[in-house]
């Protein structure tokens, strides 16, 4: 034994219960990954709809972060804006808003989203409803006209729609029929390709199904979300809208993919068991279809998710995780 | 390669950290300790009763304490003089009565072979195992003779040998399987004989394929007509080595909540225990040493060390080059289910399969955030329990509402805490709920 002498050892050690190792994943890494996954679709919105859209995004994130920081200080919250969840709420809210909404309204909506959608319940983890959608519902009630009419057409270099303002495909479908709806989608090939790529009027972050799917794929690969809820939502929409014969248009327009991939999958406001998640997703999809066809608004995913959020505590009680089943004693 | 066996739901894949010691054979500690502390309680059951007194001379291998009613006897692990029997620091009991021996010579009792050992009846074999002081060496330290004594009317058909070693860092079972494969096979077959079964299944995680091959080869050399002996590689997945998960992987049987493997006709024993049982049956050799994996970022030279029981941790650490100055935590066992130790002047006990020196702050010291209901803990729980729901109810003071979420069934593997992105001590919330529910039930029963 000719090894170097032992270094002086500390005489007492930290006593803590196990496990003594943990994953490197944290709430902050999850939230910032979600934010990154949202970025391509949000950037596409800014590209299509120009500076006003960028102003809405900036104002919304600013409002959310400011409200979270202020309320957090007053509440002595143990969470921090650095965990990325306030940025996430602000960004998500902005992506559901029309590009021509005045930026101060977006700011106000984000403040409301954080204060009354999240902090009033106790902050991160305790809210019943999706905060971004609470913010959107608030803006629908307080700024009904800018929230529903006068949509920006996509940028002129890629679109054939030549107007200052226009309608969304879902609104056109509702009022003037399928041909009017398809005319609003631009792009190189068929109108459906235009819808898929996001060359159409709409909310800032909802238009590009392609980029939303890309962001969703990142979250799937990083195992931040699973396919359960998005598939159930899409299945619900397809089932309910099937009798109209326009399933393809319904699946490619509105905020379906933004909602299904990034909002219905919000951990805090979705069920924790697989079967509960299936029911939750189907309810969202079905309600979305029902509101679109029979309701007062052309798009329904926002209210569909908010209504389904209210079911979550019950779904968590009703549905249990699969348990190993007792079997196989020797005869 | 055929599909690896594993359990149904849950589980995690922690960083294995086995590289530092997996290629290091078992090394006997050198020099031998000048003193050992042998606590009278190193097992589940009643403490042993000393039969030596101060200033007695004892020889390694000699019995120094008789078994308590449900316990096992204790033997001198070095030769020398008995010091006053009094309270000493203890790794799990804080402080407990221990027999202290100061080494004076390297004498050892001889343990000649009993040529008729294979023909021992069940009673004789159990007596020998008990007299050898053998307890479960995988960590639980339950007296082995008791686990092999079947309750009236219970029938078993499978003996499972646990070589999974699913805890990160630990490689002591792996090295023992490579060093003593025949003794382990013999021990397993002997235990199968005791419980009257003819089917032996050995579960080993697939990161230890050399051990799988070594045991398969050894089984060819050990006579076992009438017995089936299969070595089954299992997926590397924590907690593969938990009895419930291993039995599910190897037999497809699910043990009912809070029941023992006996409920599905299975007896499970660890490979190191099988080795000790073989020594006890063939040579009447008591349990004197054990193999400990000494590793972690705080250990200068990580090793697998064979140490006499009762050796102080400071001697073991010294043999491994000492502790690095940035060591902050000392763990007995693996990092998932092991216990934090406060100091180095503690004895190696029968159940201690690893000694980890960790650096930096541990998960528990980092503090934690609110539950964001991500359901990672639900997905990771091998039993399908809901630690998230339990934890928020415990935080809200509604401990008795946790029953529907399975708190009582938790066997504390720690997967939930490991995966929680908010760093929540979910396992501890489960423990709080479990003990409160247990108390509440006992009150209901007595009133």
CA angle B187, B188, B193 (to 5 degrees): 95
**pLDDT band (50, 70, 90) for residue A150:** confident
Provide long-range contacts, Cβ within 8 A and 24+ apart, for B317-321.
B317/A6, B317/A9, B317/B344, B317/B355, B317/B357, B318/A6, B319/B29, B319/B30, B319/B294, B320/B294, B321/A3, B321/A4, B321/A6
Residue the block writes with tokens 């709806």: A181
| Confidence (pLDDT) at A11 | 61
**pLDDT of A315-324, one tens digit each?**
999 999 988 7
Per cent of chain B over pLDDT 70 is 98
More confident call, B438 vs A7? B438
**Token pair listed for B209:** 């394929």
**Token pair listed for B213:** 């091959």
The DSSP symbol for B254 reads B
SS3 content of chain B, % helix, strand, coil (to 5): 35, 25, 45
More confident call, B264 vs A298? B264
Best to test chain A binding among B332, B342, B369 (most A CBs inside 10 Å):
B369
- Is residue B380's pLDDT more than 50? yes
| Confidence (pLDDT) at A180 | 79
Shortest Cα–Cα distance, B114 to chain A (Å): 35
Contacts of A320 in chain B (CB under 8 A): 384, 386
**Token pair listed for B429:** 């919330």
Nearest to B388 by CA among B361, B351, B425: B425
ipTM of this complex prediction, to 2 decimal places: 0.91
- The backbone torsions φ and ψ at residue B254, rounded to the nearest 5 degrees and listed phi first, read -105, 125
Residue the block writes with tokens 């076992």: B224
| Confidence (pLDDT) at A83 | 93
Contacts of B252 in chain A (CB under 8 A): 327-328
**pLDDT band (50, 70, 90) for residue A161:** low
- The backbone torsions φ and ψ at residue B95, rounded to the nearest 5 degrees and listed phi first, read -150, 140
| Confidence (pLDDT) at B241 | 95
Nearest to B70 by CA among B42, B52, B47, B90: B47
- Is residue A4's pLDDT more than 50? no
Residue the block writes with tokens 């598939």: A231
**pLDDT of A230-249, one tens digit each?**
999 999 999 999 998 888 88
Provide mean pLDDT across the span A87-111: 97
Question: Does an H or E element contain B431, and which?
Answer: helix B426-446
With a CB cutoff of 8 Å and minimum separation 6, the contacts of B81 are B55, B56, B57, B58, B101, B102, B104
- Please, what's the b/e burial string for B85-121 (b: 16 or more CB within 10 A of its CB; e: otherwise)? beebbbbbeeebbbbbbebeeeeebeeeeeeebeebe
Provide mean pLDDT across the span A9-17: 78
The DSSP symbol for B407 reads G
- The backbone torsions φ and ψ at residue A45, rounded to the nearest 5 degrees and listed phi first, read -60, -45
Contact B317 A6 (CB under 8 A): yes
Contact A270 B318 (CB under 8 A): no
**pLDDT band (50, 70, 90) for residue B230:** very high
Using DSSP's 3-state secondary structure scheme, residue B33 falls into coil
Tell me the average pLDDT of chain A: 90
Q: In what order do the strands lie in the sheet with B158-162?
A: B228-234, B199-205, B158-162, B266-270
Range from A76-85, A204-213, B111-120, B436-445 carrying the lowest mean pLDDT: B436-445
- The backbone torsions φ and ψ at residue B304, rounded to the nearest 5 degrees and listed phi first, read -105, 115
| Confidence (pLDDT) at A48 | 92
- Is residue A7's pLDDT more than 60? no
Provide mean pLDDT across the span B109-130: 94
Residues B93/B96/B98/B100 CA torsion (nearest 10 deg): 90
The DSSP symbol for B296 reads S
How many inter-chain contacts (A to B, CB under 8 Å) are there?
201
- Is residue A329's pLDDT more than 60? no
More confident call, A8 vs A176? A176
- Under a CB-based contact definition with an 8 Å cutoff, are residues A43 and A97 in contact? no
Q: How far is CA A180 from CA A149, A174, A199, A200, in A?
A: 16, 10, 15, 12
Provide mean pLDDT across the span B364-369: 90
Provide mean pLDDT across the span B344-352: 95
**pLDDT of B249-296, one tens digit each?**
999 999 998 899 999 999 999 999 999 999 999 999 999 999 999 999
Provide mean pLDDT across the span A70-83: 86
- Is residue A331's pLDDT more than 60? no
**pLDDT of A129-141, one tens digit each?**
999 999 999 999 9
Which of B15, B253, B414 is nearest residue A19 as measured by Cβ atoms? Answer: B414
Contact B422 A27 (CB under 8 A): yes
Which of B252, B265, B427 is nearest residue A330 as measured by Cβ atoms? Answer: B265
Taking CA atoms, what residue in A is nearest to B248? A324
Q: Measured between alpha carbons, how far is B212 from B209 in angstroms, rounded to an integer?
A: 5
Dmax over Cα atoms in chain B, in whole Å?
65
| Confidence (pLDDT) at B1 | 54
Shortest Cα–Cα distance, A215 to chain B (Å): 19
Best to test chain A binding among B7, B8, B375 (most A CBs inside 10 Å):
B375
Please give, one letter per residue, the 3-state secondary structure of chain A.
Answer: CCCCCCCCCCCCCCCCCCCCCCCCCCHHHHHHHHHHHHHHHHHHHHHHHCHHHHHHHHHHHHHHHHHHHHHHHHHCCCCCHHHCHHHHHHHHHHHCCCCCCCHHHHHHHHHHHHHHHCHHHCCCCCCCCCHHHHHHHHHHHHCHHHHHCCECCCCCCCCCCCCCCECCHHHHHHHHCHHHHHHCCCCCCCHHHHHHHCCCCCCCCCCCHHHHHHHHHHHHHCCCCCCHHHHHHHHHHHHHHHHHCCHHHHHHCCCHHHHHHHHCCCCCCCCCCHHHHHHHHHHHHHHHHHHHHHCCCCCCHHHHHHHHHCCHHHHHHHCCCCCCCCECCCC
Contacts of A27 in chain B (CB under 8 A): 369, 372, 421-422
**pLDDT of B145-187, one tens digit each?**
999 999 998 999 999 999 999 999 999 999 999 999 999 999 9
Dmax over Cα atoms in chain A, in whole Å?
90
| Confidence (pLDDT) at A179 | 79
**pLDDT band (50, 70, 90) for residue A162:** low
**pLDDT of B25-68, one tens digit each?**
999 999 999 999 999 999 999 999 999 999 999 999 999 999 99
**pLDDT of A206-215, one tens digit each?**
999 999 999 9
| Confidence (pLDDT) at A188 | 57
Q: Measured between alpha carbons, how far is B399 from B395 in angstroms, rounded to an integer?
A: 8
Q: Measured between alpha carbons, how far is B245 from B247 in angstroms, rounded to an integer?
A: 6
Shortest Cα–Cα distance, A114 to chain B (Å): 16
Provide mean pLDDT across the span A277-300: 93
């Amino acid at each position: 034994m000719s090894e170097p002498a032992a270094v002086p050892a500390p005489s007492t050690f930290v006593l803590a219960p196990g496990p003594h190792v943990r994953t490197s994943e944290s709430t902050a890494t999850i939230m910032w990954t979600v934010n990154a996954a949202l970025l391509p679709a949000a950037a596409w919105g800014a590209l299509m709809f120009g500076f006003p859209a960028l102003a809405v995004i900036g104002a919304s994130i600013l409002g959310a972060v400011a409200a979270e920081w202020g309320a957090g200080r007053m509440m002595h919250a143990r969470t921090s804006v650095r965990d990325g969840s306030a940025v996430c709420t602000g960004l998500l809210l902005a992506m559901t808003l029309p590009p021509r909404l005045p930026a101060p309204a977006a700011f106000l909506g984000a403040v409301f989203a954080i204060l009354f959608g999240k902090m009033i319940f106790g902050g991160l983890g305790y809210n019943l409803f999706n905060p971004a959608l609470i913010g959107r519902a608030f803006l629908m009630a307080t700024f009904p006209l800018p929230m529903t009419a006068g949509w920006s057409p996509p940028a002129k270099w890629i679109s054939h729609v030549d107007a200052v303002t226009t309608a969304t495909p879902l609104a056109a479908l509702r009022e003037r029929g399928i041909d009017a709806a398809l005319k609003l989608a631009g792009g190189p090939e068929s109108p459906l390709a235009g819808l898929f790529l996001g060359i159409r009027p709409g909310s800032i972050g909802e238009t590009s199904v392609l980029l939303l799917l890309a962001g969703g794929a990142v979250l799937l690969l990083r195992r931040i979300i699973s396919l359960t809820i998005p598939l159930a939502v899409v299945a619900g929409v397809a089932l309910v809208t099937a009798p109209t014969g326009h399933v393809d248009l319904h699946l490619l327009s509105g905020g379906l993919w933004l909602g299904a991939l990034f909002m219905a999958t919000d951990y805090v406001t979705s069920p924790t068991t697989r079967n509960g998640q299936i029911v939750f997703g189907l309810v969202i999809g079905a309600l979305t279809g029902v509101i679109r066809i029979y309701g007062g608004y052309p798009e329904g995913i926002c209210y569909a998710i908010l209504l389904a959020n209210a079911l979550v505590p019950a779904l968590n009680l009703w549905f249990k995780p699969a348990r190993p089943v007792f079997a196989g004693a020797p005869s | 390669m055929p599909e690896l066996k594993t359990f149904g739901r849950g589980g995690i894949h922690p960083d294995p950290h086995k590289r530092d010691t997996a290629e290091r054979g078992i090394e006997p500690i050198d020099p031998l300790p000048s003193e050992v502390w042998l606590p009278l309680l190193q097992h589940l059951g009643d403490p042993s009763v000393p039969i030596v007194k101060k200033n007695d001379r004892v020889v390694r291998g000699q019995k120094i304490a008789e078994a308590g009613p449900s316990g096992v006897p204790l033997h001198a692990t070095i030769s020398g003089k008995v010091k006053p029997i009094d309270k000493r620091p203890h790794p799990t009991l804080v402080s407990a009565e221990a027999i202290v021996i100061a080494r004076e010579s390297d004498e050892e009792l001889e343990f000649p072979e009993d040529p008729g050992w294979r023909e021992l009846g069940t009673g004789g074999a159990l007596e020998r195992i008990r007299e050898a002081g053998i307890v479960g060496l995988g960590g639980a330290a339950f007296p082995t003779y008791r686990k092999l004594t079947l309750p009236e009317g219970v029938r078993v058909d499978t003996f499972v040998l646990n070589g999974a070693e699913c805890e990160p860092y630990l490689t002591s079972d792996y090295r023992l399987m490579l060093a003593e494969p025949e003794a382990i096979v013999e021990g397993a077959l002997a235990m199968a004989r005791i419980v009257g079964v003819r089917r032996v299944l050995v579960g080993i995680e697939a990161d230890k394929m050399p051990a799988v091959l070594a045991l398969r080869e050894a089984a060819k050399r050990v006579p076992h007509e009438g017995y089936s002996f299969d070595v089954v590689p299992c997926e590397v997945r924590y907690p593969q080595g938990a009895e419930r998960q291993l039995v599910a992987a190897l037999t497809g049987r699910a043990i009912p909540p809070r029941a023992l493997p006996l409920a599905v006709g299975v007896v499970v024993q660890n490979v190191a225990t099988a080795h000790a049982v073989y020594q006890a049956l063939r040579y009447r050799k008591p349990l004197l040493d054990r193999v400990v994996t000494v590793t972690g970022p705080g250990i200068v030279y990580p090793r697998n060390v064979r140490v006499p029981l009762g050796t102080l941790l400071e001697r073991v650490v010294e043999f491994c080059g000492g502790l690095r100055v940035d060591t902050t935590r000392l763990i007995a066992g693996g990092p998932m289910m092991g216990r934090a130790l406060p100091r180095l002047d503690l004895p190696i006990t029968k159940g201690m399969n690893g000694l980890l020196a960790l650096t930096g702050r541990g998960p528990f010291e980092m503090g934690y955030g609110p539950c964001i209901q991500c359901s990672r803990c639900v997905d990771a729980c091998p039993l399908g329990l809901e630690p998230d729901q339990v934890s928020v109810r415990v935080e809200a003071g509604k401990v008795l509402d946790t029953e529907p979420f399975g708190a009582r069934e938790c066997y504390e593997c720690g997967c939930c805490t490991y995966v929680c992105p908010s760093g929540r001590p979910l396992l501890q919330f489960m423990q709080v709920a479990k003990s409160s529910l247990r108390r509440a039930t006992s009150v209901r029963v007595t009133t």
